[in-house]
Amino acid sequence: MENDIKEVMFTKEKIHGKVKQLGEAITKDYNTGDEIVVIGVLKGANVFLSDLIREIAMPVYLDFMAVSSYGLSTESSGTVRILKDLDLEIENKHVLIVEDIVDTGLTLKYLTDNLKSRNIASLKICTLLDKPFRRKCDLDIDYVGFEIPDEFIVGYGIDFAEKYRNLPYIATLKKEVYN
């Protein structure tokens, strides 16, 4: 696996510091006594979400959704499928979506529209990584860890063809690995 890595972008320590900052900002913004439902987008956000909720200093409900627009490809197909829906009822709740990376935004736009149709009290988005210049739709992202260039990245829960999720850092992948 290590031989497939081109360059480490964010070390384990740098990620931890950023996750702590994001958790503090979320705690401050939601410190209203309201309950929040944190929704992790599987599978990529799982590692980030696990660390993030430990940095949110208030009670949270936790649920997951699985959506797909990539399959085993490196490019989004543009067609979004919900593979796993929520188990919790979110009507009249404050919802925080946690994503690993926002690229074109098409999948997240579909997801936010779907959740807003469920009569929620509010919706915010937190992503660890953002590629805003690749965006193909309007999205308001409330919490961004790092903006990244148009590189194919892996690690810290993010995969290529279901591999590399267990790397403790975020790195670029050599082109010959995914071409």
Q: Which two tokens stand for residue 68?
A: 């797909």
Kindly state the DSSP code that residue 114 receives in the 8-state scheme.
H
Estimate to the nearest angstrom the gap between the alpha carbon of 59 and the chain centroid. Answer: 20
Residue tagged active-site, from 63, 85, 87, 103: 103
Residue 69's contacts (CB-CB under 8 Å, 6 or more residues apart) are 76, 77, 78, 79, 80, 81, 106, 107
Largest separation between any pair of C-alpha atoms in the chain: 50
To the query of whether residue 103 is one of the catalytic residues in this protein, the response is yes
- How far from 66 is each of 37, 120, 162, CA to CA, in Å? 16, 19, 14
- Amino acid type, 94: H
Dihedral pair phi/psi, residue 23, rounded to 5°: -60, -40
Strand 36-42: give its sheet, edge to edge: 81-84, 60-68, 36-42, 94-102, 122-130, 143-147
Q: Catalogue the active-site residues.
A: 103
